[in-house]
Amino acid sequence: MKILLIGEYSNLHNSLKQSLLKKGHDVTLIADGDGFKQYDVDILIKSIIFENKILKVLTKIIDKLTGISLNELEIYLRAKREIRKLESFDVVQLINERPFKTSPTYEKRLLEKIFRKNKNIYLLACGVDHTTVKYALEKKFKYSILTPYFNNKKLKIKYKQILKYLNSDYKDLSSFIKNNINGIISSDLDYHIPYIGENKYLGMIPNPINIDFLKYNFNHSKKIKILHPINSVNKIKKGNIFFTESLKFIEEKYSHKIKITITTNEPYKKHINNVIENDIILDQVYAYDQGYNALESMALGKVVFTGAEEEWLKKYNIKPDSVVINALPDVTKIVQKLSWLIENPNMIKMISKNARKFILKYHNYEQIGTKYLQTWKK
């Protein structure tokens, strides 16, 4: 099959591509590399305006004064030129409702060309979109990426890039895409739950993890190494503050037993090397399921603090804190769980092995690739 993957978040489409290539399919990935993460792509679509400090400042001023984003306009023009060649694919999959990361108007124009030249189109519910933001705003989750906003309305400006998905133009974009696709697939429970009952929803296919590239790597030394990687754009909605505050207590209490590393906005390859060097990874708080960074860390045999709510435990029939640590928005509880691991290092090794086994069983990229093919063919 000739397959086109549009957009990239957290290495999902790259791992799916690697699986499909092994099965003999012809796969093209067009994306921006996901910002500072710099993932590999076949056709790179990104703005170079922001790579120049002076132009970046000027662009932000123009955007604020006129509402015109030169950054999005540049991406649109670059994408428009490239997608002229993207036709007659057997399957096209969008990483989410804004695969090109432009405005709703530009997205519709670009996607119209894709829809016109290709027939079998699928949408991934991955990352924020109109449906998931609306579900979270209605407080149907006990906590979500909007919880900090609910607790402090002064954060509204920080949530501008998320709340905009409720605007009429994003709602129209969502409807436009859903009217032109064959089906919707979610990547984990945080996106699956809001889409239950949605027209054209085909169900959840777990994230594909390249277990050949990410080898099991348990390398515990005398000191327990803790990594807290921060994405500065998403740190509020991921609840990084709870980890930051927890580490203050942990460092004071166990300074002789641990080594803490905090990183910000590391490119993907450097981030993976950092994960390999550590034992415990502090990922995110406001989640029911594991996101991609957590899953890749688990594949490497790390103990990850992330989403592992009751819905996830029931789905996979898993005992709490045996495969991954459910990180709650509660400093005291995070400190308790970190202390438990530091005082019982044998548990780190046990969870490490269980994490790798879990990834092999449920997230093996070759098996996940087969599930995508079966879903598309239906």
pLDDT band for position 36 (50/70/90)? confident
Question: What structural domains and CATH numbers belong to the chain?
Answer: 2-208+365-377 (3.40.50.2000), 224-362 (3.40.50.2000)
pLDDT tens per residue across span 270-316: 999 999 999 999 999 999 999 999 999 999 999 999 999 999 999 99
pLDDT band for position 77 (50/70/90)? very high
pLDDT tens per residue across span 157-214: 999 999 999 999 999 999 999 999 999 999 999 999 999 999 999 999 999 999 999 9
pTM, two decimal places: 0.93
- In angstroms, the CA 252 to CA 335 distance is 12
Q: What pLDDT does residue 378 have?
A: 82
As to burial, measured by CB atoms within 10 angstroms (0-12 exposed, 13-18 middle, 19+ buried), residue 116 is: exposed
- pLDDT exceeds cutoff 80 at 64: no
- pLDDT exceeds cutoff 90 at 150: yes
Average pLDDT of the residues of the chain: 94
